[in-house]
Amino acid sequence: MPRGLGARLVALSFLLLFTELALIRWTAANIVWLVYVTNFVLLASFLGIGIGFLRAKAKRDLLPLAPVALLVLVAFVLAFPVSVTRFSGSRRIEGGFGMDPLPRWLSLAIVFVLSVAVMACIGHSLARTFAQLRPLDAYRLDIAGSIGGIVAFSLLSFLELPPVAWGTVAAALLLVLIGRRVRWWQVAAALGVVLLLGVQSALPHEHWSPYYKITAEPRPGQPGVLTVSANNIPHQTAYPVSRLRRSHPFYFFPYRHVNGPLRDVLIVGAGTGNDVAVALSQGAQHVDAVEIDPVLQRLGRQYHANRPYQDPRVTAHVDDGRAYLERTNKRYDLIVFALPDSLTLLAGQSSLRLENYLFTIESIRKVREHLRPAGVFAMYNYYARFLLDRYASTLLGAFGTRPCAELGNELGGRHQAVLSATAGGTPRNCATPWNGKRLETATDDHPFPYLRGRAIPPFYVKALAVLLLGSLLLVRASGGPLRPMAGYIDLFFMGAAFLLLETKSVVQFALLFGTTWVVNSLVFAGVLLTVYAAVEVARRVRLPRPSVLYLALLAALLVAWAIPPEKLLELDVLPRFLAATAVSFTPVFLANLVFAQRFRDVGSSTAAFGANLLGAMVGGVLEYLTLITGYRVLLIVVAALYGLAFVFRDGGAARAWAARTGIAPLARAKPSVTS
């Protein structure tokens, strides 16, 4: 294998995954419509790469167009941002410069198409390089580059570097890969990307945490008040305690229910410090302040008027709230869930928000375990009526008694409310016990408290239908007929199954170890390392026949099904990690043995890999089924998809299907290696 060819493939794979991760984070930080549908950009990435692989035999390399496509995407997002300016009244949503925003469907469609274009340009060059190597060699190098891309982006996130750093890496690598053919307009486009991102990154009040674009500004004419927005949505305001007493008395409601001395208090979602300052003002002897975002905590340390984080009675923890509860042995007189509304998703391919696992029935039961006999749990926020009833139902299920429900002001159709509960009955000094409608509670398997019911929201259904139809048209227009992929329908099913398997791994580790960006990055890297290990085994070891591997994969999926995550939560951290790794990554390893065995003998590696990528896109759409079924059922869907892959594995079924549909399969070369 020529060294230069291998190095180029690694670099292209690095660029591809790095750009994908950067686009997922950055677009959602600027366009509110994408905050909870970031997997649209993930799906666009899969589609773009798939189109690139379908066009692998085209003579003209599309990589030289990538800087221009990236510049157009960056310019569009910066020119047409979408922000939430307020939660009530008129003009709640605004575009750039105070203008009306583009319609949601149009904004999403343009971002999707432009993301497809960027990834197709890079993917096409990757495909051309891919085709010049033996399939498994190419796949191995592709995985190695992808691991490098996720490590690099995770490092930039750890350093809290702004988008100009991300854009500089992508633009510089693009120009290096274009090489001697680079033209002035490509250099100008790359510099344009860096310049535009540099202007945004230089804004004085913006900070880039591992989770958000955070905008923090002192409120004019109000000393000691700091307003904070996250991803263009108002998030929190740091007030002095004296101001909170007058304008936000609900912060103080939980303390009227505490019976006895306030020795230890746990604040989950401590943010910029309001809740911590209130606890100290109420006489707390010690406060554990848990906040998942280090930038929010740092802003509170620097700007909060009462300096709560500097108080020696406070211990600050940068951690996921549920993970902290699972690890600590402490017991508290008061535990508060203090407006933990993350405004962001766990990962680009999941419908989970960072705080979803906090609000499950299992989580509230864990809270009860950490309360002293007379201890009180309280949670407050601005709740829609159904959400108030759901959380109250959860407290009733966990504590066995009706919680106290204290309502305050209304904001944008939601009520300010404080829910308090204790194991000893209705909390003391409670004038208004909850008497609403009992609703189904969120669980660790179905952690979606913000859904009114087990259904896919109509907007998602319509958007996904349009997305799939548009994707078919784009594939047809950009990649030509689907005929080259017809012989690789089994790899299509494998792609869909593996995306769901990866999603299941991500959400399971988030439950077991926290929804932090560190856990997410480690899981993605672990999945890629497992894939790499499987490819190396397939290259060096004579594998058993496919039916044996498929049976082993089915057995691993059955084991994963038989061991629910709550059983693993009962283990200490180290055995929990070892067990979770075995349960989650064994199916990943076996699935990639199946894939590698099939992939090494394909006649056209680019058509086969393209089919696999488009299958992954369909898997990303199928992930929305979890809104109805929960995550455990994904294992059944994965098993069914691999079952279909087995049926179509030898090409005979594929040819029969192709004959019925009128799509002739690609004539494949006779395999040079048998297994």
pLDDT digits (tens, 9 = 90+) for 202-227: 998 999 998 889 999 988 888 889 99
pLDDT value of residue 223: 82
The domain 3-204+453-661 having CATH identifier 1.20.1250: the answer here is: yes
Q: Give the DSSP letter of residue 586.
A: H
User: 300 and 272 in contact (C-beta within 8 Å)?
Assistant: yes
User: What is the pLDDT at residue 666?
Assistant: 35
End-to-end alpha carbon distance in the chain: 23
Is the Cα torsion angle 594, 597, 602, 606 positive or negative in sign? positive
Note whether 232 and 81 are within 8 A (CB): yes
Query: Which residue from 333, 346, 419, 422 is spatially nearest to 380, judged by alpha carbons?
Result: 419
Residues 6+ apart with CB under 8 A from 129: 5, 8, 9, 12, 138
Question: What pLDDT is attached to residue 214?
Answer: 93
Residue linked to tokens 């349960």: 583
Nearest Cα to Cα of residue 502 among 533, 523, 475, 472? 523
At residue 365, the pLDDT reads 95
Cα 348 to chain centroid, rounded: 4
33 HSE (CA, 13 A, CB side): 23
What amino acid is encoded at 78 in this protein? L
For residue 191, what pLDDT is reported? 97
- Which residue has tokens 């569009």? 76
Residue 482: the pLDDT is: 59
DSSP 103: P
Question: Which residue's entry shows tokens 């670099």?
Answer: 11
- The topology (CATH level 3) of 214-341+361-422 is Rossmann fold (3.40.50)
Taking the domains of the chain in order of start, what are their residue ranges?
3-204+453-661, 214-341+361-422
pLDDT at 657: 46
So what's the pLDDT on residue 512?
84
| Per-residue tokens: 49 | 């790469």
Output the pLDDT for position 673: 28
Beta-sheet pairing, 206-208 with 226-230? unpaired
Contact 555, 583 (CB under 8 A): no
At residue 661, the pLDDT reads 45
3-state secondary structure of 577: helix
Reported pTM: 0.87
Q: How far apart are alpha carbons 128 and 576 in whole angstroms?
A: 43
pLDDT tens-place string over residues 6-55: 899 999 999 999 999 999 999 989 998 887 676 788 888 888 888 888 88
Beta bridge partners of 379: 337, 419
Q: What pLDDT was estimated at residue 351?
A: 56
pLDDT value of residue 344: 52
Both structure tokens of 555: 């057995």
Low-confidence ranges of the chain (pLDDT < 50): 345-350, 652, 655, 657-675
Strand ranges of the sheet holding 314-318, from the earlier edge strand across to the other edge:
314-318, 286-291, 264-268, 332-338, 371-383, 414-422, 404-411
Q: Give the Cα separation of 273 and 289 in Å (integer).
A: 8
d(CA 100, CA 102): 7
